[in-house]
Amino acid sequence: MTEIPTKPVLLTGASGNLGRHLAKALGARGWTLVLTDIVPFPDPLPPGATFTKADLNDGVTILRLATGCGMILHFGGVSTEHPFEEVLGPNIRGLYHIYEAARREGARVLFASSNHSIGFHERETPLDDDCQFMPDGYYGLSKAYGELMGRMYWFKHGVENVNVRIGSSFPEPIDARMLSTWLSYDDLARLCAAATLAEKTGSCVIWGASANSRTYWRHDARETIGWLPQDSADPFAAQMAGKVSDNAIQERYQGGGYTVMDYTRTAPPPGKLFNR
């Protein structure tokens, strides 16, 4: 795909692992990128890109950065499990600033959601995009809230949004769980490009995983946005097979290690009908 968006694209979280890869990959396509992060951008700027150090809590600056942009790729905020107070500002108030900016600009949002919004689903239960939220911590909860914020802005204000429930986006899978959840950097970049260039998206959900035969996930809106993953974790299967933890809870649920962080339940885990 060589098409170039007609308006600049705002990329938050540009200095993070995924942001850096996206800045490079989308910059190489000739896209005009407005990059921002709370920490400095560590790489050479792609041609035509600008970088502004900004806090997502600062709504005025977010509005200014989004001015003239047609798309916001929102990868900023806290990206792993943290105490509630640390998640609140960047992931809840910050996301509100992103959606207000999108509303004012008539821009579309790609929200980097996470599998941790549904992390307490059993690994053996294949999920579609309309499954219940089952957050496995404050971080996952903020991602569920973020997806719902997108739905509200779509119904109430017509702001389009693509909610990507990212599995595990790393250069390569690093444990057996990632044979199911891995998303290659290149598939992620192609997904961001497709979501930006699609004619219409409405408010939709995409499972952010490569074409892994051991996937936990099924139906989503990939046909609507014209994205199909091209990579797969399958070739890493033999290497990763033994890389499992000795924690039965962690191995039971899709969210893996996040489900057991600060886990204080003493009774046996709930059954499949999760509230019994």
Catalytic residue numbers read 139
Q: Which residue is listed with tokens 């191995």?
A: 251
Give 32 or 113: the residue with its C-beta nearer to ligand 15L: 113
Q: How many residues sit in the footprint of ligand 15L (CB under 6 A)?
A: 8
- The token duo for 61 is 């600056």
Name the one range near ligand 15L by CB under 6 A: 110-118, 120-128, 188-196, 237-245: 110-118
What phi and psi, each to the nearest 5 degrees, are found at residue 47?
-55, 135
Beta strands in 47-122 (DSSP E): 50-53, 71-74, 108-114
Determine if 212 is a binding residue for ligand 15L (CB under 6 A). no
Q: Binding of ligand 15L at residue 259 (CB under 6 A)?
A: no
| Residue range at the interface with ligand 15L (CB under 6 A); choices 98-106, 113-121, 123-131, 224-232 | 113-121
DSSP state of 178: H
Comparison of 8 and 19: residue with beta carbon closer to ligand 15L = 19
CA pair distance 5, 49, nearest whole angstrom? 14
Least distance (Å) from ligand 15L to the CB of residue 140? 8
Select the residue whose beta carbon is closest to ligand 15L and give its number.
Answer: 168
- Laid out side by side, the sheet with 161-166 consists of 50-53, 33-37, 9-12, 71-74, 108-114, 161-166, 203-208
Dist. CA 197–CA 271, nearest whole Å = 42
- What residues numbered 156-185 form the site for ligand 15L, per CB under 6 A? 166, 168, 181
CB of 77 to ligand 15L, least distance (A): 10
**Closest distance of CB 271 from ligand 15L, Å:** 24
Sort 227 into a burial class: Cβ within 10 Å, 0-12 / 13-18 / 19+.
buried
Give least dist CB 138 to ligand 15L, A.
12
Task: Figure out which of the listed residues 20, 21, 74, 116 binds ligand 15L, where binding follows CB under 6 A.
Answer: 116
Query: Per-residue string for binding with ligand 15L, 60-89, x by CB under 6 A?
Result: -------------------xx---------
Q: Which stretch binds ligand 15L (CB under 6 A): 31-39, 93-101, 111-119, 244-252?
A: 111-119
Q: Among candidates 172, 187, 183, 166, which has minimal Cα distance to 237?
A: 172
d(CA 11, CA 99): 14
* Residue 115 in contact with ligand 15L, rule: CB under 6 A: yes
In angstroms, the CA 29 to CA 185 distance is: 15
Which residues of this protein are in contact with ligand 15L, per CB under 6 A? 79-80, 114-116, 166, 168, 181
